[in-house]
Amino acid sequence: MNSFIMLFSLITVISVVISGALMLLRRGSKGRWRSQEHIHPSLFNFFTTLYAFFIGFAIVTLWSAFLTAKTNVARESDSMMIVYRTAKNLPGSGPFRQAVVSYMKTVVEDEWPQMEKGSMSTEAIRRFDDIWSRFFELMPDPNKSGELHANLVEAGRQRLSRANILEGNLYPPVFVILIFGFISVVYGLYFINREPTVVSLIYEFMIIFLVLSCLYFIYDIDTPFSGLVTINAENFRSVYLKMLSLP
């Protein structure tokens, strides 16, 4: 919560500075630019509508990717729980189940902190490969080997999904459009508001604050495993503790 308070306090300060700078620039011009219309309101409205579309597109795209990543993490941890429970009653499955527990522990304690830095854990990769090695050594019951194999494949698929989503989900040109659009909006506000008042100053502050907040939100959820809005390891931690509690 403190991080969010600090963040929005910073955005508020930046918004106040920008809106205040616009007012000072207008006063410094001594009204020379008020005698003519530099930007037609309809053109400015079209530009802001187009810009709002790109902001909405980015938010919807990234939020959908964020929710998908969150769902995939839950599926991955559930698959590992099913693997552990299925192998529990198989003869000679001790080394296999120990490999599963070791992998889950590594994901929680080592891989998740690494993911916040934008990379997967090499140790977790090694331990997941070890699970497969133990699986082929296990020679499970024919009636249950299919379920074990299917859930291991599913866990591997979701693990790959985690790795692919680490580097971000929005194309760099979209970020260029968003940043350029913000600069253009501020530029347009300077010329479109030819009769600055306290009300218009507050309104400009509100616009700048809202746009900056949206831009940060887009930047933050572009990487679902780092930043302020993140997917935590709670699913894996819960499954790991449940594995330890099983006899």
Evaluate whether 189 touches 79 at the Cβ level (below 8 Å): no
User: Does 21 score more than 60 pLDDT?
Assistant: yes
CA distance 204 to 127: 54
User: Does 39 score more than 70 pLDDT?
Assistant: no
Average pLDDT, the chain: 86
CA distance 137 to 104: 20
User: In the predicted model, what is the mean pLDDT of residues 201-226?
Assistant: 91
In angstroms, how far is CA 120 from the centroid of its own chain? 16
User: What's the pLDDT tens digit per position in 87-137?
Assistant: 887 888 889 999 999 999 999 999 999 998 888 999 999 999 999 999 888
Confidence (pLDDT) at 123 = 94
User: Does 170 score more than 70 pLDDT?
Assistant: yes
Evaluate whether 78 touches 237 at the Cβ level (below 8 Å): no
Q: Between 200 and 33, where is the model more confident?
A: 200
User: Does 155 score more than 90 pLDDT?
Assistant: yes
> Of 225, 239, 216, which is closest to residue 69 (Cα–Cα)?
225
DSSP codes, 8-20: HHHHHHHHHHHHH
